[in-house]
Amino acid sequence: MSGIGNNIMSLSNFLWFLIFAVVLFGGMTSCGFNNSENIEPILEKPTSSVVRQATVGNLAPEFELAKLDGTTVSFQDLQGEPAVIVFWTAWCPSCKEEAPEINRLAANFGGKGLRVLGINIGEGEARVREGIKDFGIEYDVVRDADASVAKRYGVIGTPTIVFLDRDGITRYVGNELPSDYAARLNAVIN
């Protein structure tokens, strides 16, 4: 009888675990979360004090990261120009789906002064190169090898897309391009 009781208890525990997993991950879509402009970070918060996160209406966090050729790109380099920052990983199918639209965005708005920067989170140089090739990425990419910039920006999934105005103020944060992104970008460019 105790064998049956243990099996029932194990089945009960498994069902509770399954319910918990469905509730916890129910809002997730692929490797990101549903689009939201008021998203809460799920990455572990850094132990040092955070000056600011990329929240709409606030100045975005500073960073300096290396491109694959060794040159660096910093938050200061983006000052004075509107920018789109795309946090991504090479294993993320949603990032791959979004990449062609980000390429179009870069092509359409680059001539108007918009900077587009991809920030790869936590992957080695070879994997980043592979992701750039596989996704067909045509904009600048830097590596956030230790995910410290992603943490400071409050990234909760990939892709995470951030729009910045000329002053570095965050104007949009979400896990996909908003359907009205052209109007939003024209507003920050003009």
Residue 86 has pLDDT above 70, yes or no: yes
CA distances for 98 relative to 37, 62, 82, angstroms: 18, 25, 20
pTM score, whole prediction: 0.75
Residue 18 has pLDDT above 70, yes or no: no
**pLDDT tens digits, residue range 114-157?**
999 999 999 999 999 999 999 999 999 999 999 999 999 999 89
Mean pLDDT along residues 46-62 = 71
Higher pLDDT, 31 or 4: 31
**Binning pLDDT at 50, 70 and 90, where does residue 45 land?**
very low
**Binning pLDDT at 50, 70 and 90, where does residue 101 land?**
very high
**For position 154, what pLDDT does the model report?**
94
**For position 41, what pLDDT does the model report?**
35
Mean pLDDT along residues 33-49 = 36
Residue 111 has pLDDT above 60, yes or no: yes
Q: Which two tokens stand for residue 77?
A: 């380099």
Q: Which two tokens stand for residue 70?
A: 């060794």
**For position 2, what pLDDT does the model report?**
53
Which residues are CB-contacts of 156 (< 8 A; sequence separation ≥ 6)? 32, 33, 39, 40, 41, 42, 43, 175
Higher pLDDT, 42 or 84: 84
**Binning pLDDT at 50, 70 and 90, where does residue 5 land?**
low
Percent of the chain surpassing pLDDT 70: 73
Which residues are CB-contacts of 26 (< 8 A; sequence separation ≥ 6)? none
**Binning pLDDT at 50, 70 and 90, where does residue 176 land?**
very high
